[in-house]
């Protein structure tokens, strides 16, 4: 035991001379454990392998650097080569000193050639010409003879690493681009094949029976007798269809023909009123059955051919009707489009031009709300503005009817009848009145000349001004129609637009059939999107036809799963997503769809407030009626009728709610809008839900 202890003391003392040379600089990361001299030396030195690792060189380069006297090696009592931490750290801190050691390290010429963007062969030739014959030269041999972008081997290595990473990334990107190009080519080829299938399936508008058909195109301004003459032809033929854009228009013709002794059915998406012995049907255009066209088909408001959302129904009616006589009613600016479509289908067409039956002019001076003449339709472009104006005019002592899009058709009819009968002297309306409603007005006044079209607020078009303004001066009720506005600026705009020529319509719209969608892969919503993207319209028709806006159908289709579509079948699922919905009523539609899929009866619409005291109650009642319309629409389809056993009850409720709305409007409902935050009354024509003060407070960080 004693002899071993003495040996340990002797060994530790042998480290003392080396310890005396080292100073106090510790090797990075070193910790002195215990008090032995050996451990102190180890903590203040690097081994040969440690130095090689720090310098990033191989052993032959280190041996060459030692021979050149660039480092001072130390041999410890155990015979291991060491280097003082102070010397190594000093070299590592001096790039030039480190590079002098690196000059002894052999370099890879392919790395340098890659960095210089030359071939290895060219690089070797340059070095040979410079007297460097060594096939594996050192950095010191290479550096003086090459114009490199780096000064030291460390910088060269970093540059090489970056260049390799760049090339690796470029190669990956190239492979990715190549893969994407291949996928794109495959996708384009698939789209080409699908598009060709859809083109092959596009309906043949030309067929052998076209020689037996004639289109009579009734063109002219509003109040020119176009519809009167077309309906007279339908009456004389004794069988056929009158096709309208609105239930209200279809109902007007249904009522008029039956009153004149010509039996006529009514068919809309929500109701069917059969009349005994009737062989004529007044219908909303989507309900047209082209296989049973009868002798005459009347297509009203045919400028709707170009409507992005519903134009497909007019195109289908015009191109699929097999009646010998087709009467089309349209303004003059739709004439060229209808001529082109008739030519594409090979149908003979005659034009019957109609002149306005009573004169019409633009007012000389602006009107004001206070002095609006009797029998005036006042035009605004939002439900809120219509309701505000109603209350404002009633506060002035006027009797007011109102008409706007979301008002139930029965209520619109009652409101228009009151105006026609003289019970009210002003009708405040949106552009819903432009669709042929029979309102015997002497004057049409534009409260505003701009409208929000779903995307932005824009100036009215010439066609809109003429279509709406043309309601002034109904033949047989007024000698002259007058169109006006409430400011000098608006009157100037009105005069220019009213007397201008609208641009010609250029394209009708088409929508996909079940057979079209069956050719496409994916979820129902994806099929609708693909159909739209493929633009599968024959080249000969591309200057006449465009695809319809399918956005609402796509939104509904997204609410159905693949399994649900598979369960329903494609045709039934497509019919389901054709239901008349909007953003507010989609959730109720989904509830109805769930009931159909799970074989339960559909839920009843939410009941509205029992009394309508303000605009909130009014809006809730309108929404309830919109949901009732979905229920009734589904109940009228054979696939869904079984799940709507309470359709009679829903129709009765809908009628009650409509009467409730009409009563509230007759009783001068207070509907002025108020700021949603502070409750202050909002001014007329104000487009926002909170007042300026509340908006400014919120943006300035007020509590």
Both 30 and 58 in one domain: the answer is yes
Residue with tokens 């170009």: 306
Both 395 and 443 in one domain: the answer is yes
**Which token pair is 249?**
């228009």
Closest CA to 300 of 356, 226, 367, 372: 226
Number of domains the chain contains: 3
User: CATH number, domain at 80?
Assistant: 1.10.1660
8 Å CB contact between 377 and 429: yes
8 Å CB contact between 478 and 442: yes
Closest CA to 672 of 392, 325, 414, 366: 392
Both 343 and 430 in one domain: the answer is no
Which among 102, 135, 163 is the end of a domain?
102
Both 317 and 441 in one domain: the answer is no
Predicted confidence at residue 476, as pLDDT, reads 64
**Which token pair is 561?**
């799963």
**Which token pair is 188?**
């384009």
Both 405 and 318 in one domain: the answer is no
Which among 483, 499, 515 is the end of a domain?
499
The ranges of the chain with pLDDT < 50 are: 1-8
Predicted confidence at residue 437, as pLDDT, reads 66
* Residue 168 located in a structural domain: no
Cα separation values, 338 from 159, 223, 427, Å: 70, 21, 33
Element (H, E) at 510: strand 508-510
* Residue 51 located in a structural domain: yes
Which among 447, 474, 499 is the end of a domain?
499
Predicted confidence at residue 288, as pLDDT, reads 96
Cα separation values, 446 from 144, 450, 524, 618, Å: 87, 10, 43, 25
DSSP collapsed to 3 states, 54-103: HHCCCHHHHHHHHHCCCCCCEECCCCCEEEEHHHHHHHHHCHHHHHHHHC
**Sign of the CA dihedral 648, 633, 316, 543?**
positive
User: CATH number, domain at 491?
Assistant: 3.40.50.300
User: b or e along 38-76 (b: 16 or more beta carbons within 10 Å of the residue's beta carbon)?
Assistant: bbbbbbbbbebebbeebbebeeebbebbbeeeebeebeb
Predicted confidence at residue 407, as pLDDT, reads 79
* Residue 230 located in a structural domain: yes
Helix, strand, or coil (residue 386): helix
Helix, strand, or coil (residue 241): strand
Name the H helices within 285-349. Answer: 311-320, 335-345
Render pLDDT for 177-210 as a digit per residue (tens, 0 to 9): 999 999 999 988 998 999 999 999 998 898 888 9
Both 6 and 89 in one domain: the answer is yes
Both 366 and 472 in one domain: the answer is yes
Both 249 and 309 in one domain: the answer is yes
Helix, strand, or coil (residue 240): strand
* Residue 402 located in a structural domain: yes
* Pairing of the two strands 325-330 and 81-84: unpaired
For the chain, give percent helix, strand, coil, nearest 5: 50, 15, 35
Predicted confidence at residue 580, as pLDDT, reads 92
Both 284 and 240 in one domain: the answer is yes
Predicted confidence at residue 671, as pLDDT, reads 66
* 646 C-beta neighbours (distance < 10 Å), count: 15
Both 347 and 379 in one domain: the answer is no
Predicted confidence at residue 562, as pLDDT, reads 95
Helix, strand, or coil (residue 208): helix
The pTM of the full predicted model, rounded to 2 decimals, is 0.74
Residue % of the chain over a pLDDT of 90: 67
Closest CA to 283 of 257, 309, 322, 319: 257
* Residue 307 located in a structural domain: yes
Both 364 and 493 in one domain: the answer is yes
Query: Environment class of residue 530 by beta-carbon count within 10 Å: exposed (0-12), middle (13-18) or buried (19+)?
Result: buried
Predicted confidence at residue 672, as pLDDT, reads 63
* Residue 38 located in a structural domain: yes
Both 364 and 479 in one domain: the answer is yes
Render pLDDT for 220-246 as a digit per residue (tens, 0 to 9): 988 888 999 999 999 999 999 999 998
Residue 219, domain extent: 208-353
* Residue 330 located in a structural domain: yes
| DSSP 8-state class, residue 487 | S
8 Å CB contact between 633 and 585: no
* Residue 657 located in a structural domain: no
């Amino acid at each position: 035991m004693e002899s071993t202890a003495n040996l340990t003391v002797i060994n530790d003392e042998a480290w003392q001379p080396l310890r005396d040379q080292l100073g106090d600089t510790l090797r990075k990361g070193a910790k002195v454990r215990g008090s032995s001299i050996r451990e102190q030396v180890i903590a203040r030195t690097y081994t040969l392998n440690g130095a090689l690792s720090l310098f990033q060189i191989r052993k032959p380069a280190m041996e060459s650097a030692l021979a050149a006297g660039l480092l001072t090696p130390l041999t410890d009592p155990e015979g291991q080569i060491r280097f003082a931490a102070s010397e190594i750290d000093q070299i590592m801190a001096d790039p030039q000193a480190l590079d002098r050691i690196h000059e002894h390290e052999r370099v890879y010429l392919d790395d340098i050639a890659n960095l210089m963007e030359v071939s290895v062969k060219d690089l070797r030739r340059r070095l040979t010409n410079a007297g460097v014959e060594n096939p594996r030269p050192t950095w010191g041999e290479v550096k003086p003879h090459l114009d490199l972008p780096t000064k030291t081997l460390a910088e060269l290595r970093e540059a090489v690493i970056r260049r390799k990473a760049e090339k690796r990334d470029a190669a990956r990107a190239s492979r990715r681009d190549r893969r994407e190009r291949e996928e794109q080519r495959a996708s384009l080829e698939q789209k080409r094949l699908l598009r060709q299938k859809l083109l092959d399936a596009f309906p043949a508008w030309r067929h052998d029976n076209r020689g037996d058909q004639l289109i009579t195109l009734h063109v002219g301004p509003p109040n020119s007798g176009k519809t009167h003459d077309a309906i007279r032809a339908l009456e004389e033929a004794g069988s056929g269809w009158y096709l309208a854009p609105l239930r209200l228009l279809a109902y007007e013709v249904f009522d008029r023909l039956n009153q004149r002794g010509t039996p006529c059915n009514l068919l809309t998406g929500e109701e069917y009123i059969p009349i005994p012995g009737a062989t004529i049907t007044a219908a909303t255009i989507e309900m047209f059955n082209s296989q049973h066209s009868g002798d005459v088909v009347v297509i009203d408001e045919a400028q709707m051919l170009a409507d992005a959302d519903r134009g497909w129904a007019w195109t289908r009616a015009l191109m699929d009707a097999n009646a010998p006589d087709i009467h089309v009613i349209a303004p003059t600016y739709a004439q060229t489009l209808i001529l082109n479509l008739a030519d594409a289908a090979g149908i003979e067409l005659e034009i019957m031009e109609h002149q306005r039956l009573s004169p019409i002019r633009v007012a000389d001076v602006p009107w004001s709300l206070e002095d609006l003449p009797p029998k005036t339709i006042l035009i605004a472009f939002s439900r809120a503005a219509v309701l505000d104006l109603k209350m404002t005019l009633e506060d002035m002592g006027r009797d007011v009817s109102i008409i706007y899009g979301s008002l139930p058709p029965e209520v619109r009819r009652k409101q228009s009848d009151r105006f026609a009968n003289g019970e009210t002297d002003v009708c405040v309306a949106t552009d819903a009145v432009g669709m042929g409603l029979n309102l015997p007005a002497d004057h049409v006044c534009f409260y505003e000349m701009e409208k929000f079209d779903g995307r932005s607020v824009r100036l009215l078009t010439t066609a809109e001004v003429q279509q709406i303004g043309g309601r002034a001066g109904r033949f047989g009720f007024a000698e002259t129609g007058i169109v006006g506005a409430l400011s000098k600026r608006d009157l100037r705009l009105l005069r220019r637009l009213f007397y201008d020529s609208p641009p010609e319509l250029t394209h009708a719209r088409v929508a996909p059939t079940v057979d079209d969608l069956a050719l496409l892969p994916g979820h129902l919503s994806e099929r609708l999107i693909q159909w739209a993207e493929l633009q599968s319209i024959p080249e000969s028709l591309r200057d006449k036809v465009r695809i319809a806006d399918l956005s609402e159908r796509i939104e509904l289709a997204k609410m159905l799963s693949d399994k649900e579509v598979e369960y329903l079948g494609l045709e039934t699922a497509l019919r389901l997503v054709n239901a008349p919905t909007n953003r507010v009523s989609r959730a109720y539609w989904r509830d109805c769809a769930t009931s159909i899929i799970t074989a339960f009866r559909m839920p009843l619409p939410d009941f509205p407030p029992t009394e309508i005291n303000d605009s909130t109650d009014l809006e809730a009642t309108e929404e309830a009626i919109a949901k009732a319309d979905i229920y009734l629409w589904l109940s009228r389809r054979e696939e869904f009728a079984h799940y709507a056993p309470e359709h009679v009850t829903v129709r009765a409720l809908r009628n009650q709610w409509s009467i409730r709305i009409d009563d509230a409007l007759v009783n001068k409902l207070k509907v002025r809008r108020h700021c949603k935050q502070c409750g202050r009354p909002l001014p007329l024509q104000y487009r926002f839900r909170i007042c300026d003060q509340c908006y400014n407070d919120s943006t300035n960080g007020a509590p």
